[in-house]
């Protein structure tokens, strides 16, 4: 599920919409009956409709600062963060990758070998989605 479609589901839950109402909004604002059929432009229309109905998207920022990686791993962590920025994804995405791939809670806590694996996975993702490396 893409980031926009995830936001739609979050907004749906926060607005407390039942299935019938949710699908009526999708039909009215984008002409589809399921969020899986939405184009990126239609996602924007649906999110704008949810905002009109009172949903307030969060800024996505968390309080505090991220931990500083070891000096010898800073370049790899920087490369991961650059790849995430190019993909338009938050750092939390890499944290989730570290957890899923290596059972490590934070990107900054990964070993050099694990970070290289995350860099490779993000490079594969970029290639798959047609983004330049």
Q: Are residues 42 and 85 in the same domain?
A: no
Q: Does 28 reside within a domain?
A: yes
Residue 36, token pair as written in the block: 């899986």
Mean pLDDT on 12-16: 88
Q: Are residues 81 and 117 in the same domain?
A: yes
Q: Are residues 76 and 27 in the same domain?
A: no
Supply the pLDDT for residue 62.
54
Return the number of other C-beta atoms located less than 10 Å from residue 50's C-beta.
Answer: 23
Which range marks the domain in which residue 28 is found? 3-52
Q: Are residues 45 and 86 in the same domain?
A: no
3-state secondary structure at position 102: helix
- Say if residue 61's pLDDT is above 60: no
Mean pLDDT on 51-78: 72
Distances (CA, A) of 114 to 65, 79, 103, 110: 22, 13, 10, 6
- Say if residue 77's pLDDT is above 90: no
- Angular region, 121: left φ>0, alpha ψ -120 to 50, beta rest: alpha
pLDDT digits (tens, 9 = 90+) for 15-53: 888 899 999 999 998 999 888 888 888 888 898 888 888
State the Cα angle at 104 between 98 and 106, rounded to 5°: 70
pLDDT digits (tens, 9 = 90+) for 88-133: 888 889 999 999 999 988 888 889 899 999 999 999 999 988 876 5
Q: Does 133 reside within a domain?
A: no
Q: Does 37 reside within a domain?
A: yes
Supply the pLDDT for residue 3.
76
């Amino acid at each position: 599920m893409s980031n926009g479609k995830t936001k739609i589901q979050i907004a749906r839950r926060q607005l407390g919409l039942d299935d019938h109402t949710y699908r009526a909004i999708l039909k009215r604002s984008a002409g589809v009956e399921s969020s899986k059929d939405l184009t990126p432009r239609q996602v924007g229309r649906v999110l704008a409709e949810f905002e009109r109905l009172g949903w307030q998207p969060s800024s996505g920022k968390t309080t505090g600062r991220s931990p500083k990686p070891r000096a010898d791993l800073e370049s790899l962590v920087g490369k991961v963060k650059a790849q995430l920025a190019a993909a338009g994804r938050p750092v939390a995405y890499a944290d989730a990758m570290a957890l899923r791939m290596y059972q490590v809670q934070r990107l900054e806590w990964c070993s050099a070998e694990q970070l290289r694996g995350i860099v490779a996975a993000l490079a594969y993702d970029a290639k798959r989605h047609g983004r330049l490396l």
